Structure 1
Amino acid sequence: MGDVVAVLVFFAMNGVVFGSWASRVPALAAQVDAAEGVLGLALLGASVGMIAAASVAGRLCAVHGARRVLGVSTLASAAAAPLLGLAPSPLLLGLALVLLGACVGTFDVAMNVAAVTVIRATGRPMMPVFHAGFSFGGLLGAAGAYAAVTAGLAPFAHLVVVGVVVAAASIAFVRQVPDEVRQTDAPVAKGPAPFRRPVLWLLAAVALCSAVAEGASADWSALFAAEYRGMGEATAALVYGAFSIAMAVTRLFGEWAQRRFGPQRLLVVGALVGGGGLVLSAATSAPALTFAGFALAGVGLAYMFPVALDLAAAAGRRADGTGGERELGFVTAIAYSGFLAGPPLIGGIAHLTDLAFALGVAGVIACVIAPAALAARAAARREEIVRV
């Protein structure tokens, strides 16, 4: 049980880091005196760092073990976050975000690899539950940011406090994080590279579409509610809250849902529910249905990313029960590109049409997860036949 709690703590701390710095973007923009376009370029630094790190973090975990990589990357994230509060220009803010993104991206892959180890040891499909820890950590980070703003703390002081909390949690729990133990001393057969395996590309497509739809909900829901549905600023902010809380709470039931329905059915049904929720929000003019649509999007998208990672790790499992680090890192790196490309994609479509149409497109992208998940299952079965 201690290893489950320890891994949950690291998921929560990852969410705390993300929720803390993301909630201080307005203050950071004022700090570097950046216009929206320039700020947008600076903010891309976080995604660039995350993509670059995720592509190698899986291999680091395979060589050094998830526990060691997780401990180092968590402390590095805690140290890097306050640097945002020291950046005097958009360029230096962007570079600081590249560094933070690389640290958090490594942290992210390592915690998911550790989660896979717990899942294999316990036989419990807990990946969505671990990701609930991230969701609630993000909400906690946002609440902490609100308290910091209310108390008049500058971003640097606030993020120093966050860094101390995250570092202390890492030191307290890292020893309880499990590493996979190989059952044989024979050389490990690496198998084909992840990019040569269709099943991993299809699972990456699931995670990518999920990232685009989730990013669209996170970045545009409040603006859409305020400008297109006539809600006040405070009420519009609650629309994003409805999405986030619905996702977090739904993930808490992930173990039961995965046992009851199976991973592929969760992906297919969740894609249709999440995509349908976004389309509903885009198509209706009633504020209550806008809330309901984004809440449905949170429910439907809740399992997409964690289940895709769970299946990716399973696709890389070796005969001795270990493995999957490279495969998980591959899928994560491609998924991060969705967080990178999603906001400008939706923004560009909104510029050419309007935001309601753009959110409808995001809903259609979410629905693409359903055929991708079915194709991934078929590809996995074909691989098993070839192996036999």
Structure 2
Amino acid sequence: MHSQASEHSRFATRWTYGVLAIFTLMGLGFGSWLSRIPAVRDHLGASTLEMSVFGFVLATGSVLGLVLAGHTVSWLGPRRTLAIGVVVQLFAMPTATVFFWMGMVPPAVACLAIFGFVFGTSDVAMNVSGASAEQALGKPRMPLLHAGFSLGSVAATGIGALAEAGGIAVPVHLGIMYALITIGVFTALRFVPHGQATHAGAGADAGTAAGADAGAGSGSTPAVPTPPVKTRSPWRDPRVLAVGVIVMSMSLAEGTASDWLPLAFADGRGATNQYATLMLTVFFVSMTATRFAGSWLLHRFGRVPVLRVSAVLVLCGVAIVILVAAPWASVLGVVLWGMGASLGFPVGISAAADNPATATRDVAAVAAIAYTALLLGPMLIGFLGEYFGLLSAFWPLVAFAALAFVLARSAKEPAPPAQPAA
């Protein structure tokens, strides 16, 4: 029995690290595109409006993929969805840059839309698999997985800067990167089980009986399969919607900082471009560091306290950035803002996956809400900034953080199953 439990633990650990590698590689891929956007703009001689249209098309494709991902991932399973997704990305993104380099903008934009759709679908698949691995392991690991995505994105910007300095054309750079990413993802998928293996089923899916025996506790009662759940829409589930609002609030705080923080300091505080960019770096570092500590924090305190403290940190950080002009206060505000925005998304995904029978569609719904806020919400903040100034336009983030604080209890961990009487 002990050896079977050990085998189950080793399987769950390998699964977790496999998904961590996929998160990191997906971040590397998306960050590679972001790092070469200025080069694409220069090659095309495109205006800011034209580049915004390209970004909007990619974002729209992503949101559409997220909305339909519940059906797609339920049909194909997370592993097969990721395998197909990374192959389509391998062709869509490099092909888009080749079309851009040939001056063929319409087919390039179509490839961006395809990439966005597949990327959004793959994002849900890796989050579903990550949440299942977390449950099989019995320890919170979603913050670590999202930290991997952040690290991949940061690494991609460094590689992109080197490619720019070396004069490497964007199609060549992205072609090499996505070929390596595809190889890496297929290697990592060897550790990801087919289907939705969670808890006891994980070990059995790996081809051993360890998971089933481990799920039986002391061995007195065999594991009972989860009964089929009637078809229902997560969009009518109050808990899923409440978790979605929590994640939306934190994603809006993250996306707004990414898009507008440097410009807000430059325009609203008269800061230099170097100082404004440094503030964004401080934000990303504080967010990534907190995600690395997130698993320990969740294990020690639980979801609800972590989410409530995160909401308070966002509220205080944003308010300090808006109200206090002193440089030390700006740094403090940005650090608090980054720490607070870091854990809402991963904790919300874990909460959405609490019920294995409905996890795929619940995660897809929460992810769709989150990414819509992340991709489109900052545009609304920018619209407000046009009329009231960017710093004043940050006030809605405070209101959404307060709303996340109120709704945090919706993400509470499920009660452990009752033990049968002796």
Shift in Å at residue 158 of structure 1? 1.7
Match of residue 321 from structure 2: 281
Tell me, yes or no, if structure 1 residue 79 matches structure 2 residue 91.
yes
Distance 1:93 1:354, change over 3 A: farther
SS of match in other structure, 1:231: coil
Distance 1:287 1:94, change over 3 A: farther
Match of residue 310 from structure 1: 350
Which residue identity does 1:77 align to in structure 2? Q
My pick for the range that moved more, 228-237 or 143-152, is 228-237
User: Once the two structures are superposed, what CA deviation does each residue of 1:60-93 show, in whole Å capped at 9, x if it has no partner?
Assistant: 3323321111122122223222133222366444
Give the Cα separation in 1 of the matches to 2:387 and 2:89: 38
Shift in Å at residue 171 of structure 1? 2.2
Match of residue 4 from structure 2: none
The answer on whether the counterparts of 2:143 and 2:347 sit within 8 Å (CA) in structure 1 is yes
My pick for the range that moved more, 176-185 or 195-204, is 176-185
Give the Cα separation in 2 of the matches to 1:143 and 1:56: 33
Shift in Å at residue 216 of structure 1? 0.6
* Structure 1, gaps ≥5 residues long: none
Tell me, yes or no, if structure 1 residue 60 matches structure 2 residue 100.
no
Match for residue 367 of structure 1 among 402, 410, 420: 402
SS of match in other structure, 1:368: helix
The answer on whether the counterparts of 1:42 and 1:90 sit within 8 Å (CA) in structure 2 is no
My pick for the range that moved more, 336-345 or 244-253, is 336-345
Identity of aligned residues (%): 29
Normalized against structure 2, the TM-score is what? 0.83
User: Once the two structures are superposed, what CA deviation does each residue of 1:302-345 show, in whole Å capped at 9, x if it has no partner?
Assistant: 1100111110111x333xxxx40011011111212112321211
Match of residue 153 from structure 2: 138
Match for residue 238 of structure 1 among 278, 302, 313: 278
Match of residue 169 from structure 1: 184
Give the Cα separation in 2 of the matches to 1:191 and 1:274: 37
Tell me, yes or no, if structure 1 residue 292 matches structure 2 residue 332.
yes
Shift in Å at residue 362 of structure 1? 2.6
Match for residue 366 of structure 2 among 319, 327, 331: 331
Match for residue 388 of structure 2 among 307, 331, 353: 353
* Structure 2, gaps ≥5 residues long: 1-12, 202-222, 418-422
Distance 1:287 1:83, change over 3 A: farther
Report 1:249-288 matches (<5 A): 249-288=289-328
SS of match in other structure, 1:253: helix
The answer on whether the counterparts of 2:81 and 2:122 sit within 8 Å (CA) in structure 1 is yes
Match of residue 260 from structure 2: 220
The answer on whether the counterparts of 2:303 and 2:411 sit within 8 Å (CA) in structure 1 is no
- Runs (4 or more) in structure 1 with deviation over 4 Å come to 89-93, 182-187, 375-378
User: Once the two structures are superposed, what CA deviation does each residue of 1:11-54 show, in whole Å capped at 9, x if it has no partner?
Assistant: 00111112111122222222333222232122111221111111
Match of residue 131 from structure 2: 116
Give the Cα separation in 2 of the matches to 1:328 and 1:190: 17
Give the Cα separation in 1 of the matches to 2:109 and 2:312: 36
Give the Cα separation in 2 of the matches to 1:189 and 1:297: 40
Give the Cα separation in 1 of the matches to 2:226 and 2:288: 42
Give the Cα separation in 1 of the matches to 2:259 and 2:336: 17
My pick for the range that moved more, 14-23 or 221-230, is 221-230
Match of residue 196 from structure 1: 236
Which residue identity does 1:302 align to in structure 2? S
Give the Cα separation in 1 of the matches to 2:230 and 2:146: 28
Shift in Å at residue 96 of structure 1? 2.7
Give the Cα separation in 1 of the matches to 2:109 and 2:330: 34
Match of residue 46 from structure 1: 58
Match of residue 21 from structure 1: 33
Return the index of the structure with the highest Cα Rg. Answer: 2
My pick for the range that moved more, 170-179 or 129-138, is 170-179
Match of residue 21 from structure 2: 9
Q: How many residues align?
A: 376
The answer on whether the counterparts of 1:247 and 1:301 sit within 8 Å (CA) in structure 2 is yes
Normalized against structure 1, the TM-score is what? 0.90
User: Once the two structures are superposed, what CA deviation does each residue of 1:202-241 show, in whole Å capped at 9, x if it has no partner?
Assistant: 1111121222111110011111222333333233212111
Match of residue 141 from structure 2: 126
Shift in Å at residue 186 of structure 1? 8.4
My pick for the range that moved more, 95-104 or 10-19, is 95-104
Distance 1:46 1:372, change over 3 A: farther
Which residue identity does 2:362 align to in structure 1? E
Which residue identity does 2:130 align to in structure 1? A
The answer on whether the counterparts of 1:194 and 1:326 sit within 8 Å (CA) in structure 2 is yes
Distance 1:240 1:89, change over 3 A: farther
Give the Cα separation in 1 of the matches to 2:240 and 2:107: 36
Tell me, yes or no, if structure 1 residue 36 matches structure 2 residue 48.
yes
Shift in Å at residue 128 of structure 1? 0.8
The answer on whether the counterparts of 1:274 and 1:297 sit within 8 Å (CA) in structure 2 is yes
